[in-house]
Amino acid sequence: MFTRRSMLQLLGGGAASLALRRPVWAAAKDAAPGEFFIFIHASGGWDVTLWADPRNERKGIVDPAGTDNTDIAPLTHWKSTRLDNDVDTFEILAPKNVSLRFGPGIGDLFDFRERLTVINGLAMNTVSHPDGTAFSATGRHLAGGRPPASSVDVAVANELGTDQLLPAVAVQYPSSFIGDRLDRRAVPLRVASAATIAKSLTRSDAYLAADDRTAITALLTDEAAALAEQSAYPETYLRAESQETALPKLISGDLEKAFTQKALQDAYPKFDYKAKSQGQGALSAAFALEAIKRNVVRCVGFALGGLDTHNQNYKQQAHTQQELFGVIARLVEELDRTPHPDKRSAKLADHTHILVFSDFCRTPQINLSGGRDHYPNNSALVISPKFVAGRSFGKTDVEQLLPADAGLGFSDGPRPIAPPDLLATFVSAFDIDPRKYLRDGEVVKAMLR
Amino acid sequence: MKLAVYLSFGLLAACGAAPGIAPTAPQPLPVAKTIAIDTTPKERRRMMPPEVYLRAYMVWFGGLAPLDVQARAKGKALFDAWDDYLSALGLPDYRVDLPRQMQTNTLMLATLGRLGEALCMRAAERDLHGKPPAIADRVIFAFEVVPTPSADEFRDRFDVLHRTFVGYPVALGPADRLAKFYALYQAVAARHKAAKQPLTGDETAWAAVCSALVQHPETELY
């Protein structure tokens, strides 16, 4: 089993990590040991009226999804009801055991409704993809085109993950590492595909053998140690030494073999890797599972896309959502049946926390091209034992789908929930001080158990 | 007119040549005190952006273009295509709208190690194996391979590689560096002496030395 010490290092905290600074903040790891985190970016902006904030009536500017603008054939949870003369819309899913209401896009995740926490009416104040993404992930709008704060996965990794081999892995997830007070080990490994990680760790056995590489790294370890002794600034060389020490474990073990595309698909066959929109996302989810199961990560973020439907492709929005939530449903199933790597008799689902957000939502009205454009409202989803489940927080107005007062008694008066509030609540659930990472936002205690 | 001429002569007479100053030998400046100059580096060493390493690799291994690197390193699971490693190296990947990474990380170092090893193996194949080019035409291993070299023979050849990758003669490095690399060479050569593979034992050992130098702390840190 790899430990943080055996890896981090593994290859090097990289440029930056070689010039580490010690973390300034007291870590919260003692308060939340053995917790894992999965962050999912539903990329493109989802139509919340199809899942979290369902609308099936024409009110104000709201044009509900109907058989004239939605391909309902592949939808498993679409039950038709009359909207207009010759157009049907969907029946809202209103299960009796929870207070949640869903549209048909929820797909198989509907079966896990008792474990879902939905946040509606998130005030986004933006309709720009990069800005909405950054706002959702960091709680701050872009400044000069760049996020001015670290993303939530980096914040959690910095507090709880620096002992892990891979504190934060981001597969097309909008991670940002900002500021010089963070532990450099929390720099996220941002990759385009989960398979990239396996490729980078792979070494050919046509020329050198594992023993040769062990000898090379042993030599380089000695060299780094000797240079550290002679250096006025030994920290960098000492970091290089520790990295070289761990390198053989990383590249000669079975880690890279476990992360290949084929290995992941074989290990988790229930994911639909050939799904139209989410096949690559399914691979990322499988990577997250495998990495958590092996206890080598603390946070994994990945993207599930295909939601930016401005035109006729809106017909596929509901199906894309169904695939997206299907990936999450499979993920929860696997977490349910996988034992925790450290905690006896516990399953991973008891200690894994999932946060799903999108850039923003889509307009309540259908545009002239048959699609929906960007809209400054949003919904988010949390699946976590730390959160009150089976209910939603926040709301939108009936006629315009705009964020409305959430009725949560914010200290600055009546207002909707905003992404900083959600992020502050999320990190506070693990005894992380939100003010260390978030300029704005108020903890919503009602969301927490 | 006459008045002007008289005045001119009068002025010239008044401004007679100044008395000359006799030349003297230059005197050394007085020594006030000796100032000790602190030549130690004032910043810790650090890694550089990935382009710096990629550029260095391309220059070292023959002034290659990126596509040359890909063509040369590909095969035998040594390397694939740049596209597979863009994000792992920290470069932007516009296919998936992934921006440049502003901090280097562990995966970048692993990827650079994979690339460096691939290029060393290919360089050994080109410069050492079979009918190698003249020494002047070699890219990395600009010396003749001697089977089972003595310590002195190894030193002369290792110095060529050391100057290439680390940037200064091995004689100026730590005293025991040569012995460490000689031991590595001997271990790898012995391990691969009888093995049937693309390179001979000695060639593989030189390739291993190259691979170690590419990843050496003094090579990676600036």
pLDDT in tens, A92-103: 999 999 999 999
Contact B84 A189 (CB under 8 A): no
A323 with A408, same domain?
yes
Give A249's pLDDT tier (boundaries 50, 70, 90).
low
Q: Using an 8 Å CB-CB cutoff, list chain A residues near B116.
A: none
| Structure tokens belonging to residue B161 | 């590689």
Give A252's pLDDT tier (boundaries 50, 70, 90).
low
Report the pLDDT averaged over residues A171-193: 90
The CATH number linked to A173 is 3.40.720.10
Domain with B124, as residue range(s), is 50-220
pLDDT tens digits, one per residue of A287-311: 999 999 999 899 999 999 999 999 9
A70 with A138, same domain?
yes
A392 with A320, same domain?
yes
Q: Is A328 helix (H, G, I), strand (E, B) or coil?
A: helix
Report the distance separating Cα A92 and Cα A79, nearest Å: 8
What angle, rounded to 10 degrees, do the helices at B106-127 and B50-60 form? 0
| Structure tokens belonging to residue A307 | 């939601």
Question: What is the DSSP secondary-structure string of A225-255?
Answer: HHHHHH-SSTHHHHHHHHHHHHHHHHHSSSH
A296 with A407, same domain?
yes
Instruction: Please name the residues between 102 and 131 in chain B that touch chain A, using a CB distance below 8 Å.
Output: 102-111, 113-114, 117-118, 121
A213 with A275, same domain?
no
Number of domains within chain B: 1
Quick check: is B1 in a domain?
no
Q: Distance (Å) from the C-alpha of residue B136 to the closest C-alpha of chain A?
A: 26
Between A344 and A75, residue with greater pLDDT? A75
Quick check: is B143 in a domain?
yes
Domain with A11, as residue range(s), is 1-28+206-251
A154 with A229, same domain?
no
Contact present, A330 and A271 (Cβ < 8 Å): yes
A111 with A210, same domain?
no
A39 with A87, same domain?
yes
Contact present, A48 and A374 (Cβ < 8 Å): no
Number of domains within chain A: 2
A305 with A166, same domain?
yes
pLDDT tens digits, one per residue of A102-124: 999 999 999 999 999 999 999 99
Polymer length of chain A: 449
Quick check: is B70 in a domain?
yes
Burial A202-222 (b: 16+ CB within 10 A, else e): bbeeebbbeebbebbbbbbbb
Q: Is A36 helix (H, G, I), strand (E, B) or coil?
A: strand
Q: Point out the domain boundary residue: A192, A218, A251.
A: A251
* pLDDT for res B173: 92
Burial A223-237 (b: 16+ CB within 10 A, else e): bbbbbbeebebbbbb
A221 with A269, same domain?
no
B213 touches A: beta carbon within 8 Å: no
Give A442's pLDDT tier (boundaries 50, 70, 90).
very high
Quick check: is B7 in a domain?
no
A261 with A118, same domain?
yes
pTM here is 0.84
From the list A203, A211, A240, which residue is nearest B114 (CB)? A203
Q: Is B43 helix (H, G, I), strand (E, B) or coil?
A: coil
* pLDDT for res A31: 57
3-state secondary structure A259-277: CCHHHHHHHCCCCCCCCCC
A260 with A221, same domain?
no
Contact B95 A189 (CB under 8 A): no
ipTM: 0.80
Closest alpha carbon within chain B to A240: B217
Question: What is the DSSP secondary-structure string of B87-130?
Answer: TTTT--BTTTTBPPPSS--HHHHHHHHHHHHHHHHHHHHHHTSS
Q: Distance (Å) from the C-alpha of residue B74 to the closest C-alpha of chain A?
A: 11
Report the distance separating Cα A189 and Cα A192, nearest Å: 10
Q: Point out the domain boundary residue: A217, A251, A285.
A: A251
Q: Distance (Å) from the C-alpha of residue A3 to the closest C-alpha of chain B?
A: 15
Contact A204 B77 (CB under 8 A): yes
B85 touches A: beta carbon within 8 Å: yes
Which of the residues in chain B have pLDDT under 50? Answer: none
